[in-house]
Each structure stands twice: as structure tokens, then as C-alpha cells.
Amino acid sequence: MSIDRNRGMWNPHEETLTKEEKRKRDEKNLVMIFKHAYHNSQFYHERYRKAGLTAEDIKTFEDIKKIPFLRKPELQEAQRKNPPFGNNLTVPINKLSDIFISPGPIFEGVVAEEAEAMLNARCKAFYSCGARPGDIVVNTFMYHMVPAGLNIHLGFRRLGCTVVPTGVGQTVYQAIIMRDLGVTVFTGTPSFLAMIGEEAKNGGIDPRGNLKLELGIFSAEPLPDSLRKSLGDTFGILARQLFGTADLGTVARECPEERGMHIEESMIMEIIDPNTLEQVAPGEEGEITCTMPHKLASPIIRFRTGDATILSEEKCSCGRTSPKLRRILGRVDQLVKVKGMFVHPVNIKSVVEKHPDLGNYEVLVDRPHLSDVLTIRIEFEGTGKSLSKNLEKAKKELEKEFKEAIRVKAVVVLLQKGSITESKEKIVDLRKME
């Protein structure tokens, strides 16, 4: 490869903080963001008063245990009752630099100060994964409404890269673009690049011989070792992984060691037992819980992501000192990530309940080949007026409604009444993690 992608750091000062320096910084930031939210967010003010907290009750890092946890359904409910921001906006709406609609849906306001902090986090992440100034990057993340595509684009641009905003779809054309422009970095989901590789071969393009790709930076899906190796063999690339969410942005990133993902230094992270809600020790499985000190317009404090991981504090040979998430083990609640989007039973239910024609349902998520497939099996009577009595037409109508509700394409299978047994587990994840 023409560029050394395994050395150096974007921000050596932040990336080599000692444990004590990090703790002092976290303590200062925790006190700051708690007071900011208490005084400026009606959502948090009411929440913390109900918990018996005053603005002065958080003085040390240990006091974080006094703060109630926050979960995504609570934000959804708050925004449903008090649209658009659920009383969790600390500045007038016309003072925001951006507004995104994250999966949920969740309206998220951003001010310029926090946008700058998030840019710094993304630059650290991309550099850690191997991107360098001068790279030509094809960005296949979605730009529509959600923050992923645009924020990743701006991060690479700040790093000094040239960005090609292709978004998703048009698999063969993606390969042609990469060939004709001499693209060196791909960013998107690993399954999408695998699909591009297959379609490129079918179209007469040799992914290894005709493309100049050197690096793949992946997020929104797991990157198991077998897929990492397969992508390396197909394209001749380094394959590196990020972990982030629409609510939090960049949470952790790999380094050249490829043995876990370093936690973003600005993040105050706890790994908790999802049952006891107590912090677990390094090496134990728990739920990722984050506080975002720089998220000022719509604060996020002690946010339970629903993602399970194992924390490692082992010294890393890359020189970065932040702990690592060994890997993302899966979901700890009913939220399931499909093609980079979270799908929750409540969003499925919202469509089903609109139609008296429909009965019990179940959702299956599988990955039979290279891409996630979401199948919704529903009992259908065809006696109501909201859906066509024609089976095929009703199926297409529902597929359109589900895509609007969950932002992911679903395959609908209509069954006779009595075909599905009512179950508490509405979403069954059949994907096999390697």
C-alpha cells in the first residue's frame, strides 16, 4: 500500500490521556452537563426533580450513580407528548445549526459548538482506522434525514479527504465510480461492500485488480473475522470497524491492532448490568451506557444504548490509552439493528394496529447471504376496509407502510388466522454471529 495507515494519531494529546487525567476531565464534564441540563432542559429538570435531585447534587464522578438512566423509548414518548423535541431543547430552535431525524423517530437538534466536538471525534476515529489526508472516500451511508451520511462526510472532509457522497444502492455503479475515480477508502456497511464485490465481478470488474481501494471503514453492522478476511481477499483492503449510534455519534473505533475498539475520549461511558443497573468490572459483559458532555442542544445523560459489550483496559500497542470495547455482543433488549437501522416492536405494532384485517404477527431477521432480510409474518383475514382484499395487493400496501414506519424494507408474509402463536418475543434474530 502506498500510505502507512498503521501509525500516528489525529489528536495525540487527547488520545494518550492517563487514567487519572481522563477521570478528572470526566468529573468536570459530568458536573457541567448535569447543571446545564437541569437548568435549561424542561425534560431533564422535571425528571431530576422527581428523582429528588437539585442542580448542586452532582459534585464528583461517584455522584453519577445518583442520576437516573435514560432509554430511547423515553425520548420517543417525550417527543410524542410534546413535539417536536419532547421539551429537551436547551436553545431556541432557530439557534440550531442542524436538525436530524434519527431512527425512532427522534428529532435531534445540534448547535455549532457540539458539531465541532463531534467532528473532532470522527477525525480521531477515521485516522485511527487508517484514513489519511489525500484519500478519496466513497461514502455509502444514508444522507436522508439521519445524521450518519452527512456527519461522516464532514468528518472525512475535515480530515483532508475528498468525499464522494454515493449513499446506498446502485451496486454496480458504485464499483464503476470507485474504479473511474481511483477511490482509496470505502465507508459503509461490510455487507454492502461484499455485495458490490459480487456485482463488480459479474459486471467484468476485478475488485482487486481494477480498483484502488486500500481501506474499508465499517459501521452499523458487525464485522466478524470471516467477513473481514473475505473483504480483504476480495478487495485487497484493510478492514476496520467503528461503533456508533444515531443518538451518540462515534462511540468507539478500531486501531491497527484490530483487537477491540477504543472508546471516544470525550465520552463518559459506563458498562452496566442490565438487570441490576450496577457497573460491571472490566472483562464482564454489560450494557453500554453513555453520557455526552458536548451534546448541549439536546442533552444525552446516562443513556442506555441497549448494546452489550465487554470492556478491556489492557494496554494497547498502538499507544492510545482509552479502554476498548472488545466487541459488540448484541442487543440486551428488543431493539434489533437491521441494515444499520434500529427496529423496535412498537413501530411494527403501530402499523398492525391500524388494520382490523390483521391479527397476531412475528418478525424474523436473518442474513441468508450477504444482506439482512427482515420478514414480517402476519395473520390476515381480509374482512376490513383499510387494506385490499386481494392478497398480493394487501401485501404490497403493508410493505410500503412498514418501510415508512421502520425505515427498512420488509418482506410481508400473510397467513391465515390462527397460524401464529402470540409471543412476548416479537422480533426473532436468526442471524448467526461468528
Q: Which CATH class is domain 341-429?
A: alpha beta
Determine the pLDDT at residue 256: 97
**Whether this model's pTM surpasses 0.85:** no
Written as one letter, the residue type at 322 is S
Contacts 24+ apart (CB under 8 A), 52-55: none
Gap between the Cα atoms of 145 and 214, Å rounded: 30
Indicate if the pLDDT at residue 68 is higher than 70.
yes
Are 306 and 72 in contact, with CB atoms under 8 Å apart?
A: yes
Determine the pLDDT at residue 308: 86
Are 221 and 242 in contact, with CB atoms under 8 Å apart?
A: no
Written as one letter, the residue type at 85 is F
Which helix (DSSP H) or strand (DSSP E) does residue 150 occupy? helix 148-159
Determine the pLDDT at residue 54: 98
- pLDDT tens digits, one per residue of 91-127: 999 999 999 998 778 999 999 999 999 999 999 999 9
Q: Using alpha carbons, select from 314, 347, 321, 326 the residue that is nearest to residue 426.
A: 347
Determine the pLDDT at residue 434: 45
Name residue, grid cell 445518583.
Answer: 66
Domain ranges of the chain: 1-333, 341-429
Q: Which CATH class is domain 1-333?
A: alpha beta
Query: What percentage of the chain has pLDDT greater than the value 90?
Result: 77
Indicate if the pLDDT at residue 368 is higher than 90.
no
Q: Using alpha carbons, select from 235, 12, 13 the residue that is nearest to residue 127.
A: 12
- pLDDT tens digits, one per residue of 198-229: 999 999 999 999 999 999 999 999 898 889 99
Greater pLDDT, 426 or 65: 65
State the average pLDDT over residues 152-161: 98
Mean pLDDT, the chain, as a whole number?
A: 93
Cβ neighbours for 130, distance < 8 A, ≥ 6 positions apart: 5, 6, 215, 217, 238, 240, 256
State the average pLDDT over residues 395-414: 92
Confidence bin at 55 (pLDDT 50/70/90): very high
Q: What are the φ and ψ backbone dihedral angles of 109, each rounded to 5 degrees?
A: -95, 145
Determine the pLDDT at residue 421: 86
Q: How many CB atoms neighbour CB 196 within 10 A?
A: 28
Kindly state the cell numbers that stand for 327: 466487541
Determine the pLDDT at residue 334: 62
Gap between the Cα atoms of 250 and 261, Å rounded: 11
Greater pLDDT, 275 or 64: 64
Q: Using alpha carbons, select from 224, 218, 234 the residue that is nearest to residue 129.
A: 218
Q: What number of residues does the chain have?
A: 434
Q: Using alpha carbons, select from 259, 270, 301 the residue that is nearest to residue 90.
A: 301
Are 286 and 311 in contact, with CB atoms under 8 Å apart?
A: yes
DSSP state of 279: B
Are 53 and 66 in contact, with CB atoms under 8 Å apart?
A: yes
Q: What is the DSSP pairing of strand 106-110 with strand 136-139?
A: unpaired
Q: What are the φ and ψ backbone dihedral angles of 215, each rounded to 5 degrees?
A: -145, 140
Give 3-state DSSP helix, strand, coil % of the chain, rounded to 5.
Answer: 35, 25, 40
Q: Using CA atoms of 133, 135, 141, 145 in order, give the dihedral in degrees to the nearest 10.
A: 50
Determine the pLDDT at residue 340: 72
State the average pLDDT over residues 294-316: 95
Kindly report whether the peptide bond that precedes residue 105 is cis, defined as omega within 30 degrees of 0: yes
Cβ neighbours for 252, distance < 8 A, ≥ 6 positions apart: 242, 243, 244, 261, 262, 263, 264, 324, 325
Q: How many CB atoms neighbour CB 212 within 10 A?
A: 15
The vertex-181 CA angle with 177 and 184, nearest 5°, equals 95
Q: What is the DSSP pairing of strand 162-165 with strand 358-366?
A: unpaired
Gap between the Cα atoms of 433 and 144, Å rounded: 29
Q: Using alpha carbons, select from 225, 386, 243 the residue that is nearest to residue 308.
A: 243
Cα of first residue to Cα of last residue in the chain, in angstroms, is 29
Kindly state the cell numbers that stand for 197: 464485490
Indicate if the pLDDT at residue 305 is higher than 60.
yes
Q: What Rg do the C-alpha atoms of the chain give, in angstroms?
A: 22
Q: Using CA atoms of 255, 260, 266, 267 in order, give the dihedral in degrees to the nearest 10.
A: 160
Confidence bin at 422 (pLDDT 50/70/90): confident
Kindly state the cell numbers that stand for 15: 488520545
Determine the pLDDT at residue 329: 80
Q: Using alpha carbons, select from 330, 266, 318, 328 the residue that is nearest to residue 30.
A: 266
Cβ neighbours for 351, distance < 8 A, ≥ 6 positions apart: 398, 401, 402, 405
